[in-house]
Amino acid sequence: MKMMTIVGARPQFVKAATISRIVQETAGLEEILVHTGQHFDQNMSDVFFDEMQISKPAFQLDVNSVGHGAMTGRMMEKIETLLIDQRPEVVLVYGDTNSTLAGALAAKKLHIPVAHVEAGLRSFNDRMPEEVNRILTDRISTNLYCPTDTAVSNLHTEGFDKLSNRVVRTGDVMYDAALFYAKIASEKSTVSIPEKDFVLATIHRAENTDDPKKLKGIVEALNHINETNPVVLPLHPRTKKYLEMNQLTLSFDTIAPIGYFDMIQLLNRASLVVTDSGGVQKEAFFFKNNCVTLRDQTEWVELVENGFNTLAKAENPEDILNKVNAMLIKSNQFEQDLYGTGHAAESIVKDLLTSI
Ligand code: UD1
């Protein structure tokens, strides 16, 4: 079977690494990897391919740094040409980025089945570009691979149980990646770890970076936290741009975006995670950290329901500080099967081979 995989943004490289490894071990399955170019810096893209030994993409589309419409449109146009030329039997897309939607739409219009990994997630905030991307991608996917029970139940609520789409609860490929790479990362990472108990932070969501009130609230809170616990913040290019634009200053040195091994190592050693990323909320849990999420909603509700994660209002530094202080001292039992058993990629590949 010939499968075309579309990736473009940092978290998709991590997810694709897990499935690509299983594909390489599976007879009768050929993968054509396409990189849309959405993320393009050495430390936002290449480092993941090198560290996780993902095969070099067969095609690089070089679409980036333009608005949502232009980005999605240009990607679709280039993917369509590739699909006509390569004629895969299925197109595999991951998550909720513009690259995901472009790949799914281009395939659907050519009547090529679409498999969506990380299907069924909802924040119920349709002002997020990611929410729009995931709802539309789910709607036109033939195979919907859900990481959690909540994701399956979201799809049922939307009527997917009455449609002919295939909805399967597979577990989360990001958990597969965390288990597989943890030991290698501890040997290979060279990231510097603070001596004191530190807080690992990541900020990049448009809803936070593009709203000066929220970005200011986050900066104030992080500056405060840093007075007692050093904050390690690998700075996303979007956030860097908006901090400069709004003349907001962090009182500590940030670090450049880091590779997966360094990220895992920091997650392993941190005392708490503060983030607005979807993936990092789960990775905090995989590495037994409590998490404070700087958003009004999360797609990973099971973390909040079980007390591993709490939401804080980005525009309210006091709210962030209160939650951070509470989560720093809260002890939790992390041994719960919320995201599968670390074999999600195998389940997905097996299901693709039998159902397409
Ligand atoms: C995108 C995804 C988001 C995902 C995130 C992971 C969408 C709508 N959003 O957000 O779902 O969680 O990736 O990081 O698809 N830039 C660089 N160098 C790079 C990459 C980006 O300078 O290597 C710049 C871009 O030019 C742009 C900004 O960073 O100005 C934001 O990049 P963009 O691809 O628009 O989205 P993300 O915020 O990364």
- CB of residue 65 inside a 6 A radius of ligand 1: yes
What does the block give as tokens for 12? 């998709």
Q: Which residue has the least CA distance to atom 11 on ligand 1? A: 97
- CB of residue 207 inside a 6 A radius of ligand 1: no
Q: What is the distance in A from the centroid of ligand 1 to the CA of 164?
A: 34
Q: pTM for the full model? A: 0.97
Helix axis angle, 260-269 relative to 173-188, nearest 10°?
A: 90
Q: What is the distance in A from the centroid of ligand 1 to the CA of 65?
A: 8
Mean pLDDT (10-residue bins), the chain, 356 residues:
98 97 95 98 97 96 98 98 98 98 98 98 96 98 98 97 94 98 95 97 98 98 98 98 98 98 97 98 98 98 97 98 98 94 98 96
Tell me what percent of the residues of the chain surpass a pLDDT of 90.
99
Q: What is the distance in A from the centroid of ligand 1 to the CA of 77?
A: 20
pLDDT of amino acid 65: 97
Q: Which of 48, 61, 62, 64 to probe ligand 1 with, by most ligand atoms within 8 A of CB?
A: 64
pLDDT of amino acid 161: 87
Q: What share of the chain is helix, strand, coil (3-state, %, to 5)?
A: 50, 15, 35
User: For ligand 1, what atom is nearest to the CA of residue 68?
Assistant: 8
Q: What is the distance in A from the centroid of ligand 1 to the CA of 39?
A: 6
Among candidate residues 209, 267, 217, 213, the one with its CA nearest the CA of residue 242: 209
User: For ligand 1, what atom is nearest to the CA of residue 205?
Assistant: 38
Among candidate residues 195, 339, 197, 340, the one with its CA nearest the CA of residue 281: 339
